[in-house]
Amino acid sequence: MTLNRKSPRGNPLLFIQGNEACVYGAIHAGCNFFAGYPITPSTEITEGMSVNLPGIGGTFMQMEDEIASIAAIIGASAAGAVSMTATSGPGFSLMQENIGYAYMVQLPIVIINVQRGGPSTGLPTMLSQADTMQARWGTHGDYTAIVLTASSVQEAYNVTIRAFQIADRFSTPVIVLLDELIGHMREKVELTMINNKNPVRRKLPEVPPEWYFPYKNTLDMVSHPAPFGEGFRYNITGLIHDKAGFPSSVEHEVINRMEFLRNKIMQHCQEIWDYREFYTEDAKYLIIAYGSAARAARGAIETLRNMRIKGGLIELKTVWPFPYLPISKIAEKAKSKIIFVAENNMGQLVHPVNEIFSNSVKVFNINRFDGHAIDPYEIVDMVKENIYA
């Protein structure tokens, strides 16, 4: 006898790590190029891609470091590949300069950062959410980042697929921010997109090459640079550029470029924002969290509700652009009195939350930064302590 590994919908069921789920997600999304440098706790992604990509006609490159890795996937993306890399804290720091380049030249790439603790090499094998701000503000200059996250192995699979779709949709880097706990633990996963009929494939422009401008404003405010080698000739540069891609410091063109980079994302927030609500309708005490901290918060809410304390949770699936609007609407509707932000760091996600509620509602931060997951009871205690204070 063997195990029945089919879900009721006929999809394969696996018992795998979050990192392995990312590999399946990437392959099912249509990824065909990976360049990376192994680093704990993301190594299984690099390993998995090296095993799986060659078999489906993709390319795997082990690079000499993370700077080379990000450069390689940007180059591959310029040539039309659906490309990604995976790393953790120290590697993510090394990648920052080129991530900024990718924002500027508007090429779709996916970067998975499985967060570890501490600055520098820190805590390689332990859990942290300390790159929350770096994912938003890591590279220099003004730009708008898209950062997605997951709180279970199934979600790691789903979010990886979504990251590729969004990167392609907005022609921009998408960062998937996982934490060590989600990356390393094994859970049951249903491979829902194994027969994906619409894998991400880079589109060619609809105009003939002689009319083509890679960075021209379009109706939906998104430009898609054509893959190199298809006859569409244009310039790619990290300098502020005009619609043809050539450097320009003319005032209106600078403003146009900068606003374009922001607006293509901010005007489509509704498409990007993703979050889940738990008992928020009447949540006098509202918790905001993502990743493994949100998992603990869900447990805390159940316990609080059993104690007849009106707790609720907004679990973020999109960390950036920060869902200011939905959060303030939910809190307003529920007439929330105190907001708690639970996170595995010394306080990062709390800042945008503070921006929303600066004067109107009290905001408390629940932090843990010893490399371990937040225990639901820590949240329960913190909530009880503050509502009776």
Partner 1 sequence: MKNGTKATAKKGTGKINRVTIRISGSGGQGIISTGMLLGEAIAIGDERNVSQSQSYGPEARGGATCADIIVSDGEIFFPECNLLDILVAFTYEAYEKYASLTREKGIIIADQSAVDVLSGTAETIKVPFIETAREKFSKSIVANMIALGFLSGYTGIVTGGSLLDVVNDHYAGSKHRDANIRAINEGFKLAREYAGSAKVFI
Q: Does 306 help bind partner 1 (rule: CB under 8 A)?
A: no
Q: Which is nearer to partner 1, 17 or 248 (CB)?
A: 17
Q: Does 372 help bind partner 1 (rule: CB under 8 A)?
A: yes
What is the closest distance, in whole angstroms, from the C-beta atom of residue 297 to partner 1 in the complex? 8
Q: Does 304 help bind partner 1 (rule: CB under 8 A)?
A: no
Q: Does 373 help bind partner 1 (rule: CB under 8 A)?
A: yes
Q: Which stretch binds partner 1 (CB under 8 A): 70-78, 169-177, 264-272, 376-384?
A: 376-384
How many residues sit close enough to partner 1 to count as binding (CB under 8 A)? 32
Q: Does 185 help bind partner 1 (rule: CB under 8 A)?
A: yes
Q: Does 277 help bind partner 1 (rule: CB under 8 A)?
A: no
Q: Does 41 help bind partner 1 (rule: CB under 8 A)?
A: yes
The phi, psi pair for 148, rounded to 5°, reads -115, 160
What is the closest distance, in whole angstroms, from the C-beta atom of residue 191 to partner 1 in the complex? 13
Q: Which is nearer to partner 1, 13 or 67 (CB)?
A: 13
Q: Does 4 help bind partner 1 (rule: CB under 8 A)?
A: yes
Closest CA to 87 of 185, 195, 180, 212: 180
Q: Does 40 help bind partner 1 (rule: CB under 8 A)?
A: yes
Q: Which is nearer to partner 1, 2 or 195 (CB)?
A: 2
Instruction: Enter the tokens of residue 189.
Output: 């996963």
The phi, psi pair for 296, rounded to 5°, reads -60, -40
Q: Hey, which residues between 120 and 159 contact partner 1 (CB under 8 A)?
A: 124-126
Q: Does 295 help bind partner 1 (rule: CB under 8 A)?
A: yes
Q: Hey, which residues between 202 and 221 contact partner 1 (CB under 8 A)?
A: none
Q: Which stretch binds partner 1 (CB under 8 A): 2-10, 29-37, 281-289, 310-318?
A: 2-10
Q: Does 178 help bind partner 1 (rule: CB under 8 A)?
A: no
Residues 6+ apart with CB under 8 A from 52: 23, 27, 58
Bridge partners of 275, per DSSP, are: 316
What is the closest distance, in whole angstroms, from the C-beta atom of residue 257 to partner 1 in the complex? 44
Q: Which stretch binds partner 1 (CB under 8 A): 61-69, 74-82, 237-245, 294-302?
A: 294-302
Give me the residues that bind partner 1 (CB under 8 A), please.
1-5, 13, 15, 40-41, 124-126, 181, 184-188, 292, 295-296, 298-300, 302, 372-373, 375-378, 381
